[in-house]
Amino acid sequence: MERKTFTMEELVAYCSQYGFIYQGSEIYGGLANTWDYGPLGTGLKNQIKDAWRYYFIQMRENSYEVDADILMNPKVWEASGHLAGFTDPLLDCKECKTRHRADNLIQEYDSSVNADAFTQEEMLQFIRSKQVPCPVCGKSNFTDIRQFNLMFETRRGVTSDNAGTIYLRPENAQGEYVNYLNVLRSMRAKLPFSIGQIGKAFRNEITPKNFTFRTIEFEQMEYQTFCKEGTDNDLYEYFKEYGKEFFEYLGLPAEKLRFHDHEKLAHYAKAACDIEYLFPFGWGEINGTHNRTDFDLSRHQEYSGKSMEYFDESTREKYIPYVIESTYGVDRIVLAILFEGLCEEELGEGESRIVFKVKPALAPIKVNVLPLIKKRHAEEAKKLYKELSSHFMVQYDESGSIGKRYRRGDAIGVPFAVTIDDNTLENGTVTVRDRDSMEQKEIALTDLVHYLHDNL
Ligand code: GAP
């Protein structure tokens, strides 16, 4: 069967048409690079978050989920190093007054160069010597490079001076670190143990791009494993592989995933490796594994004055644990799953269908309930819809031909369509159609819930 995948433009249009993702604040002309998830996008996101909870919190021993506030004491960001070091190298075009990231300019000018490994001076020298053009006006007349902090500031209280400045968190991780002692105490945890969290993070990215891939507000699923120094390298390798397994479990194929070791490390890391997925616009990071050593906890000990030491009963030693971080961007995973599953399939005789072949467990709607003929079968179908609703996310659709209704379900990834017809009224059976194979089966109503559970 011929299968055509979606381009970025087609995906953006699809997401809006079918209720996955809309432009943020659309009726006001939008706010650049903000996106709102519609009912189906929210459903898909929730399934991904549930899968993460299953894989990381439920299936792993000594794993605890927290939900820390986005707004934290500003000292957290001093201690974490984000106030001083969480910056992007930016420069302005003197001709058209647009602002750019120096590393992006270089990368776009020559993709064989690794701008990540350049110092600020090397970047400027490269841009000047090669006369790298401004992507907006084409001229090459830039200011010097300056470091801009990526954290969004806001103000609490009524003071207008800087005393009330607080920040929207740029990563979830700090919410896990500042609660390390609380979880240790209240859950009577023992090393190694992990704290995970799902939540929003914010970064003042000046060059957001590729739809939801790089935005100013996004959601992370972060997971910190506290361990003894010396066990950190093995855990680091373990979480790299566990991440790949998780993505395959979500339905992303191994051949479109690769590891990318970082040469230039964030201020907190001793080693860092991303997993990248092959998007239509190229390889893009969807996860990171970081060996953060005892950097964060040591800094919090220093800045808060609270001891972060762990007392190891078996060896009678006291030490600050090391942390292996495994972090996932929810929005990027949604994007990868949409690109992976969506296609237009030729069905022969000039017919085609849009189908979203998402893993059934992740489908936002699991079952479409369809009366074959509205007048004759709607009553029975509505009864079934009600009954199935207590088990699954179900949709009822009675308008248009049965073929059209199948197509609408395929396009949003509904794994099963259940049709109620005369056989249902006479023999108590329904027709169950499989989204991917389009094969149909007669199933007794009494077996239906079982059958759907088994296949979802
Ligand atoms: N706590 C470590 C940390 O935040 P990161 O690599 O900067 O590490 C983790 O971010 C994940 O968050 C990335 O792998 C990516 O999936 C997602 N992410 C980061 N910046 C993003 C942005 N501007 N838009 C969307 N997702 C982003």
Whether 99 and 222 share a structural domain: no
Determine whether the shortest distance from the Cβ of 82 to ligand 1 is under 6 A. Answer: no
Query: Number of helices and strands (H, E) in the chain?
Result: 15, 24
pLDDT at 162: 66
Pinpoint the alpha helices (H) of 87-179. 102-109, 120-129, 173-177
Residue at 353 is within a domain:
no
> Does residue 240 sit within a domain?
yes
CATH of the domain at 413: 3.40.50.800
Residue 220 lies in a domain: yes
CA proximity to 152, closest of 171, 140, 170, 138: 170
- Position 354 in a domain: no
CA–CA distance, 401 with 270 (Å, rounded to integer): 60
**pLDDT of 115 higher than 90:** no
**Is residue 173 scored above 90 in pLDDT?**
yes
Ligand 1 center–CA 278 separation, angstroms: 17
Q: Region 108-112: what's the mean pLDDT?
A: 89
User: Which pLDDT score is estimated for 380?
Assistant: 95
Q: Could you give the CA distance from residue 214 to residue 176 in angstroms, rounded to a whole number?
A: 24
d(CA 345, CA 260) in angstroms, rounded, equals: 33
Q: Which of 120, 149, 178 lies at the terminal end of a domain, its last residue?
A: 149
Distance 220 CA to ligand 1 centre (A): 7
Judgement on whether residues 265 and 207 belong to the same structural domain of the protein: yes
Ligand 1 geometric centre to CA of 214 (Å): 8
pLDDT in tens, 391-441: 999 999 999 999 999 999 999 999 999 999 999 999 999 999 999 999 999
Q: Give mean pLDDT, residues 447-451.
A: 97
Give me ligand 1 centre to Cα 215, in Å. 10
Residue 382 lies in a domain: yes
Looking at 97, 130, 149, the residue that finishes a domain is 149
- Predicted confidence (pLDDT) at residue 12 exceeds the cutoff of 80: yes
CATH number of the domain that residue 93 is part of: 3.30.40.230
Domain end point (choices 149, 167, 201):
149
Domain check: are 140 and 49 in the same one? Answer: no
Quick check: pTM over 0.75? yes
Say if residue 326 is in the same domain as residue 445: no
Per DSSP bridges, beta strands 63-66 and 193-202 are parallel
199 found inside a domain: yes
pLDDT digits (tens, 9 = 90+) for 119-129: 899 999 999 99
Same domain, 203 and 106: no
Same domain, residue pair 292 and 202: yes
Query: Do 271 and 383 fall within a single domain?
Result: no
Residue 289 lies in a domain: yes
Centre of ligand 1 from the C-alpha of residue 152, in Å: 15
Q: Residue 434: give the domain boundaries.
A: 365-455
Query: Do 79 and 124 belong together in one domain?
Result: no
Residues 6 or more apart whose CB falls under 8 angstroms from that of 257 comprise 244, 247, 248, 275, 276, 277, 278
287 in a structural domain: yes
Q: Is the CB of 179 under 6 A from ligand 1?
A: no
Residues 196 and 269 in one domain: yes
Q: Is the pLDDT of residue 206 over 90?
A: no
| CA-closest residue to ligand 1 atom 15 | 329
Q: How many domains does the structure of the chain reveal?
A: 3
pLDDT band at 160 (very low <50, low <70, confident <90, very high): low
Nearest alpha carbon to residue 23 among 32, 321, 79:
32
Could you tell me if 47 and 141 lie in one domain? Answer: no
Question: Do residue 200 and residue 108 come from a single domain?
Answer: no
Examine the domain organization and report whether 270 and 398 are in the same domain: no
* Cβ of 205 below 6 Å from ligand 1: yes
CATH code, domain with 220: 3.30.930.10
Residue 159 has pLDDT above 70, yes or no: no
**DSSP assignments along 219-257, one per residue:** EEEEEEEEE-TTSHHHHHHHHHHHHHHHHHHTT--GGGE
Which residues, 6 or more positions from 214, have their beta carbon under 8 angstroms from its beta carbon? Answer: 33, 205, 207, 208
